[in-house]
A and B are shown apart, each in its own frame.
Chain A
Amino acid sequence: MNHGIVSISNGQLALSLVLVLITGLVSAFLRLGLLKSLVWGTVRAFVQLTLIGYVLAYIFQLNSLPVIIPIILLMSFIAAREASRRVNEPTQKPLLVSFIALTASTFLVGLIVVGLIIGPEPWYSARVMIPIFGMILGNSMNGISLALDRMYGEVRAHVAEVEELLCFGASPWEAVRGLVRKAVSSGMTPTINSLMVVGLVSLPGMMTGQILAGADPREAVRYQIVVMVMVAAAVAVGCLLIVGLSYRKMFTKDLALTGDMRRSIG
């Protein structure tokens, strides 16, 4: 059962400006001062997506691993930058650890999905690999920034407890493990919650896309299931890696909390 793609022509695309107009009217009516960002955002979305469309078409056609890998690494880097920007910890710039955690978790889970489960021909098919890795990155990025932000927040809120444990001879890990557990679980919770309601509240973007592109909904669902469990796995691995790589930075050479962790952040 294939209903074919209902495509959007240039004229139809131009008509979507009506929607931009509606947003603009709301902004103007309430004097939200968002008009400039709206126009700029629309232009950027148009240019970025058009470019990406061409780039992807070109990459899919090339379909070579030496091109795909650097692209995925670049995507990881951009995601890592965004994740580290979201961590509200003035004393740390977690770009490198974010990049390591994201790349490692994405490749681990992505390769299992592409190589073992989907198994396209060739296995590194860009048409499969890039969107799959992209979806993993987008979700892992949210997960690791939540987990890291929470870890620093929890330790700052429980400095006395951490130091009390240290005073009994606890190792840094023993002193913070309870708080780190909370942090990892807060990073993973949104993904696990989304497993509960998927399909009931909204259809995931990927499934919607496949259905609009003419796929049988029952087929699209299979993909969606794989994608969701894959995202959960990647988020779990990513959160674990990021806190594992980061927690020692809250301690000095002498295995005590750093002065920065004991100060309140202003």
Chain B
Amino acid sequence: MTNFFSFDNLTYYFEPGGRSIQVSGAVEPGNVLALQGPSGSGKSTILRILARLLEPAGGEVVFRGQGWLSFPPLTWRRRIHYLPQKPVMFAGTVLDNLWLPFGLAALSDMPKPGRDYLEGLVAAAGLPPSILTQDALTLSGGEMARVALVRALLVEPDVLLLDEPTAFLDEGTERLVQTLLCNWLQEKKERAAILVSHKDEDLQAFPGLRVVNITPSEREG
């Protein structure tokens, strides 16, 4: 066990003194950890905490043996990338959207990917090359989800926090996305994903997947 990425007793109160969750888990390189629980149980909340978009009431996250607070927040979010449940597109073409992160100071060390490379990547997600010049705000829900996923893979995070990446997709495209993710995990060492999904097929698609169940606890008084 290398202790690549783990979280211990992450605690969050949905309202002060009320319903709360407490979750622990760990994921090793090349593997996927799934968060399971009914709708509203706090799966997205946990992913947002892991991305340091939300502050927990307690608990710790360790990445490569170091506590999360020893990383500056921007470095952390650059390495531990959260892909939200509702895909977010910005005004402009799909190409503009895929290039958008490369305008940020945090990614100045990464070259902007070329168009050919992007065409290959969107094809792997089941999208035609012509989509690159389409207005991103006119995409369908499933297309947006896949463009957002491609954008997330492009910035090469170490841990990908996936919030129902296949929710908008039919079975065929779903399998494409699963393959894309599996390949991404194998492509380089030291990559892992934490996945929220309601679909059993998603869970079966990843070998060595482990599951953490989330059950909110009611606290009286």
- Are A256 and B86 also in contact (CB < 8 A) when A168-B107, A174-B105 are? no
A255 B82 Cβ-Cβ under 8 A: no
Which residues between 58 and 100 of chain B lie within 8 Å of chain A, taking CB atoms? 73-75, 77-78, 81-84, 86, 88, 90, 100
Task: Verify if B162 is at the interface (C-beta below 8 Å from A).
Answer: no
Choose from B74, B90, B100 the contact partner of A255 (Cβ within 8 Å).
B74
Q: How far is the CB of B92 from chain A (nearest CB, A)?
A: 11
Choose from A161, A169, A252 the contact partner of B77 (Cβ within 8 Å).
A169
- Measured in the bound complex, the distance between the Cα atoms of B100 and A248 in whole Å is 22
Q: How far is the CB of B87 from chain A (nearest CB, A)?
A: 9
B97 closest partner in A (C-beta): A164
Number of residues from A at the complex interface, CB < 8 A = 17
Task: Verify if A170 is at the interface (C-beta below 8 Å from B).
Answer: yes
Chain B residues, Cβ within 8 Å of A252: 55
B84 A255 Cβ-Cβ under 8 A: no
Task: Verify if B57 is at the interface (C-beta below 8 Å from A).
Answer: no
- Measured in the bound complex, the distance between the Cα atoms of B88 and A174 in whole Å is 16
A167 B104 Cβ-Cβ under 8 A: no
A171 B84 Cβ-Cβ under 8 A: no
Chain B residues, Cβ within 8 Å of A169: 74-75, 77-78, 101, 104, 106-107
- Are A160 and B88 also in contact (CB < 8 A) when A167-B51, A167-B53 are? yes
- Are A257 and B74 also in contact (CB < 8 A) when A164-B84, A169-B107 are? no
Chain B residues, Cβ within 8 Å of A166: 53, 77
Which residues between 149 and 194 of chain A lie within 8 Å of chain B, taking CB atoms? 160-161, 163-171, 174
- Measured in the bound complex, the distance between the Cα atoms of B82 and A252 in whole Å is 18
A168 B84 Cβ-Cβ under 8 A: no
A255 closest partner in B (C-beta): B73
Task: Verify if A121 is at the interface (C-beta below 8 Å from B).
Answer: no
- Measured in the bound complex, the distance between the Cα atoms of B88 and A161 in whole Å is 6
- Measured in the bound complex, the distance between the Cα atoms of B88 and A168 in whole Å is 12
Chain A residues, Cβ within 8 Å of B106: 168-171
Chain A residues, Cβ within 8 Å of B78: 168-169
Chain A residues, Cβ within 8 Å of B107: 168-169
Q: How far is the CB of A250 from chain B (nearest CB, A)?
A: 13
B74 A163 Cβ-Cβ under 8 A: no
B82 closest partner in A (C-beta): A167
Q: How far is the CB of A254 from chain B (nearest CB, A)?
A: 5
B155 A168 Cβ-Cβ under 8 A: yes
- Measured in the bound complex, the distance between the Cα atoms of B72 and A171 in whole Å is 11
Task: Verify if B112 is at the interface (C-beta below 8 Å from A).
Answer: no
A164 B88 Cβ-Cβ under 8 A: yes
- Measured in the bound complex, the distance between the Cα atoms of B155 and A213 in whole Å is 68
Task: Verify if B54 is at the interface (C-beta below 8 Å from A).
Answer: yes
- Measured in the bound complex, the distance between the Cα atoms of B84 and A257 in whole Å is 15
Task: Verify if B52 is at the interface (C-beta below 8 Å from A).
Answer: yes
Chain B residues, Cβ within 8 Å of A161: 88, 90
Which residues between 143 and 180 of chain B lie within 8 Å of chain A, taking CB atoms? 155
- Measured in the bound complex, the distance between the Cα atoms of B77 and A257 in whole Å is 13
Chain A residues, Cβ within 8 Å of B74: 169-171, 255
Q: Which of B86, B88, B106, B107 counts the most A-chain CB atoms under 10 A from its CB?
A: B88
Q: How far is the CB of B143 from chain A (nearest CB, A)?
A: 17
- Are A168 and B105 also in contact (CB < 8 A) when A161-B88, A254-B73, A256-B54 are? no
A170 closest partner in B (C-beta): B104
- Are A256 and B73 also in contact (CB < 8 A) when A168-B101, A170-B106 are? yes
Contact with B along A242-266 (1 / 0, CB 8 A): 0000000000101111000000000
Chain B residues, Cβ within 8 Å of A170: 74, 104, 106
- Are A174 and B53 also in contact (CB < 8 A) when A169-B78, A255-B74 are? no
- Measured in the bound complex, the distance between the Cα atoms of B107 and A174 in whole Å is 12
- Measured in the bound complex, the distance between the Cα atoms of B77 and A254 in whole Å is 11
Q: How far is the CB of A9 from chain B (nearest CB, A)?
A: 62
Q: Which of A161, A163, A167, A255 counts the most B-chain CB atoms under 10 A from its CB?
A: A167
Chain A residues, Cβ within 8 Å of B90: 161, 164
Residues of B within 8 A of A (CB): 51-55, 73-75, 77-78, 81-84, 86, 88, 90, 100-101, 104-107, 155
Instruction: List 9 A-B pairs, Cβ < 8 Å.
Output: A161-B90, A163-B84, A163-B88, A168-B78, A168-B107, A170-B74, A170-B104, A174-B104, A255-B73
